[in-house]
């Protein structure tokens, strides 16, 4: 009988060697560090506190605050890198599973978890190519102009009560402004590359972003009207108390505004079906065609940071922020969980829907999304006027509708989980496992 022997593949290259060494020594080092984790953690806290006390007492009283800010900024950068690294790996796994493939499996021990790290190492070793016809200073500047605003958006995002770097009256607008600044880097990159593919990508990005910014802002405003504050902390705190007090179920206009916001945010993150600026099948790689090495990585980081930022905005404004759906204690973990779910939905949409044409993108915005969000905005403000003790009949109706919308939301979530369960139960009927079962040696 024929037995299938798995061919032995020798992996070569510095990056894979480094990853293999890291996983090998990490396998010894990480459990050791975990065993003494609490000790290390407490010792670090004691050392930092002692250092800050000495500095504040004897050197400069303002310096501890500066050090605190520095530590938070560095931590935030770390969080952003983790989001991007896990996001890129997850995107490939999700795309693989949706297309009935396995996705990355080799780097690292478990399901190719180190794939992004290996890629990062590879990119660092790449030559930093700058085309001779490119506009040098702008070409070099563009990745920073894309990444830095995406990072700045996180400075005003609250992860929970008190879990925010700088809390302000207008933090919602600040986050939106920073996300709008990100466009600039993309346009700069596309223009400075001096390549027609890049320029097409940049022009698509410019017209798409400027159009979709308006429905995005207006649908957020429809929800903001119900609270009457532009501070993200207050918006989140206004939704304490479980599922039915989330802003999305407040009235039907806000319920629809969540979906219009979600569509517009897909466009603002250049995610499919609106990923025309990148357009791999038509524009090579769109605005970052000419970029290589670490500059290319920075565009990727900015994209994943932006994805998480818009999902975080949706979480804070519509989905109850850091409050748990069942009314338990609120925690930043809930916030991260809900935002991650929205990021996963973005990936799901990307690998499900085909890309639409640029004229369809503009028609969808100007003819349908923009009038709809204007209507939602007016409707939401009208609802705020009517839903008052002066109109008892309407207030009763609004209350009934509010709970009805909550039940609709519950049904949607239930449907999602039912479908997930159905898919898991019938996973062997998918094409991939069916093919794999008939392979020799299976």
Partner 1 sequence: MLEMTMFFLFAFLSVAAGVAILLSTNIVRMAFWLITMLVAVAGLYFLMGAYFLGVIQILVYVGGVAVLLVFGVMLTSRRLAPTLRPGRGEAVWLTLVGAVLLVGLVLSTLQAHWQQQVAPAANSAADIGRSLLGDFLGPFELASVLLLVAMLGAAYLARPKTPTQGLPHTKGTTP
Cβ at position 206, least distance to partner 1 in Å: 4
Long-range contacts of 427-433 (CB under 8 A, 24+ apart): 430/100, 431/100, 432/100, 432/101, 432/102
The Cα 400–Cα 402 span in angstroms is 5
Nearer to partner 1 (CB atom), residue 360 or residue 399: 360
Stretch that binds partner 1, among 39-47, 108-116, 201-209, 331-339 (CB under 8 A): 201-209
The CB density around residue 14, as the number of other CB atoms within 10 Å, is 11
Site for partner 1 in 121-140 (CB under 8 A): 135, 138
**CA of 79: how far to CAs of 72, 74, 298, 306, 333, in Å?**
10, 9, 15, 13, 13
Q: What is the CA radius of gyration of the chain?
A: 24
Tell me whether residue 202 or residue 305 sits nearer to partner 1 (CB atom). 202
From 114, 121, 223, 230, residue interacting with partner 1 (rule: CB under 8 A): 230
Select the span of 53-61, 86-94, 96-104, 175-183 touching partner 1 (CB under 8 A): 175-183
- Write the DSSP string, 222-235: HHHHHHT---HHHH
Among 139, 154, 159, 191, binds partner 1 (CB under 8 A): 191
**Contact code string over 321-340 relative to partner 1, x by CB under 8 A:** --------------------
Contacts of 281 (CB under 8 A, 6+ apart): 355
With binding defined as CB under 8 A, does residue 238 bind partner 1? Answer: no
- Judged by beta carbon, residue 130 or residue 203, the one nearer partner 1 is 203
Burial state string for 238-273 with b = 16 or more CB within 10 A and e = fewer than 16: bbbeebbbbbbbbbbbbbbbbebbbbbbbbbbbbbb
Cis peptide before 273 (omega within 30 of 0): yes
Which own/partner pairs from 336-339 qualify as long-range (CB within 8 Å, at least 24 positions apart)?
A: 336/159, 339/308, 339/311, 339/312, 339/314, 339/315
| Binds partner 1 (CB under 8 A): choice among 359, 390, 424, 425 | 359
CB of 199 to partner 1, least distance (A): 7
206 binds partner 1 (CB under 8 A): yes
**Contact (Cβ atoms closer than 8 angstroms) between residue 303 and residue 145:** no
Is 170 one of the binding residues for partner 1 (CB under 8 A)?
A: yes
Site for partner 1 (CB under 8 A): which residue of 85, 88, 153, 187? Answer: 187
User: Total binding residues for partner 1 by CB under 8 A?
Assistant: 28
Q: Does 16 bind partner 1 (CB under 8 A)?
A: no
- Contact window for partner 1 (CB under 8 A) among 72-80, 166-174, 297-305, 434-442: 166-174
Nearer to partner 1, 188 or 256 (CB): 188
Cβ-proximal residues to 253 (8 Å cutoff; 6+ apart), any chain:
222, 376, 377, 379, 380, 383
| By CB under 8 A, residue 184 contacts partner 1 | yes
Cβ-proximal residues to 419 (8 Å cutoff; 6+ apart), any chain: none
Work out whether 199 is an interface residue with partner 1 (CB under 8 A).
Answer: yes
Assess 310 for contact with partner 1 (CB under 8 A): no
Counting contacts by CB under 8 A, is residue 176 touching partner 1?
yes
381 makes contact with partner 1 (CB under 8 A):
no
Cα 109 from Cα 316, distance rounded (Å)? 36
Asked if residue 284 binds partner 1 (CB under 8 A), the reply is: no
Q: Tell which one of 202, 312, 361, 372 touches partner 1 (CB under 8 A).
A: 202
Residue 376 engages partner 1 in binding (rule: CB under 8 A): no
* 340 close to 259: Cβ distance less than 8 angstroms: no
Q: Which residues contact 333 (CB under 8 A, 6 or more apart)?
A: none
- Pick from 56, 96, 131, 168 the residue near partner 1 by CB under 8 A: 168
Cα(161)–Cα(107) distance, rounded to whole angstroms? 38
Residues in touch with partner 1 (CB under 8 A): 135, 138, 168-170, 173-174, 176-178, 180-181, 183-184, 187-188, 191, 194, 199, 202-203, 206-207, 209-210, 213, 230, 359
């Amino acid at each position: 009988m024929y037995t299938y022997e798995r061919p032995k593949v020798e992996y070569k290259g510095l990056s894979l060697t480094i990853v293999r060494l890291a996983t090998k020594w990490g396998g010894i080092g990480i459990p050791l560090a975990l065993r003494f984790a609490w000790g290390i953690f407490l010792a670090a806290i004691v050392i930092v506190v002692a250092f800050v006390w000495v500095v504040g007492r004897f050197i400069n009283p303002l310096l501890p605050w500066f050090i605190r800010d520095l530590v938070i900024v560095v931590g935030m950068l770390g969080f952003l890198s983790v989001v991007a690294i896990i996001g890129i790996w997850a995107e490939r796994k999700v795309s693989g599973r949706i297309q009935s493939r396995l996705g990355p499996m080799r780097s690292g021990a478990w399901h190719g978890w180190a794939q992004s790290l290996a890629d990062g190492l590879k990119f660092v070793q790449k030559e930093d190519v700058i085309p001779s016809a490119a506009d040098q200073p702008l070409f070099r500047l563009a990745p920073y102009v894309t990444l830095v605003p995406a990072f700045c958006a996180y400075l005003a995002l609250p992860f929970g009560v008190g879990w925010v770097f700088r809390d302000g009256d207008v933090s919602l607008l600040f986050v939106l402004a920073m996300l709008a600044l990100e466009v600039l880097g993309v346009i700069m990159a596309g223009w400075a590359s001096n390549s027609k593919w890049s320029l097409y990508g940049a022009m698509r990005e410019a017209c798409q972003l400027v159009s979709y910014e308006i429905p995005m802002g207006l649908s957020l405003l429809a929800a903001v009207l119900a609270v009457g504050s532009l501070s993200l902390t207050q918006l989140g705190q206004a939704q304490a108390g479980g599922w039915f007090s989330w802003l999305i179920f407040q009235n039907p206009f806000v319920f629809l505004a969540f979906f219009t916001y979600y569509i517009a945010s897909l466009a603002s993150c250049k995610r499919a079906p609106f990923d025309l600026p990148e357009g791999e099948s038509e524009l090579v790689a769109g605005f970052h065609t000419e970029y290589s090495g670490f500059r290319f990585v920075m565009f990727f980081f900015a994209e994943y940071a932006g994805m998480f930022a818009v999902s975080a905005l949706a979480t804070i404004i519509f989905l109850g922020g850091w409050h748990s759906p069942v009314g338990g204690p609120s925690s930043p973990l809930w916030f991260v969980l809900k935002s991650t779910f929205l990021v996963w939905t973005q990936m799901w949409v990307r690998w499900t829907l085909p890309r639409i044409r640029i004229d369809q993108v503009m028609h969808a915005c100007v003819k349908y999304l923009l009038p709809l969000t204007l209507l939602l905005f007016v409707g939401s403000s009208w609802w705020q006027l009517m839903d008052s003790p002066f109109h008892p009949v309407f207030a009763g109706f609004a209350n009934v509708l509010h709970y009805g919308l909550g039940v609709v939301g519950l049904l949607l979530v239930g449907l999602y989980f039912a479908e997930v369960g159905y898919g898991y139960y019938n996973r062997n009927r998918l094409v991939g496992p069916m093919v794999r079962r008939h392979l020799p040696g299976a």
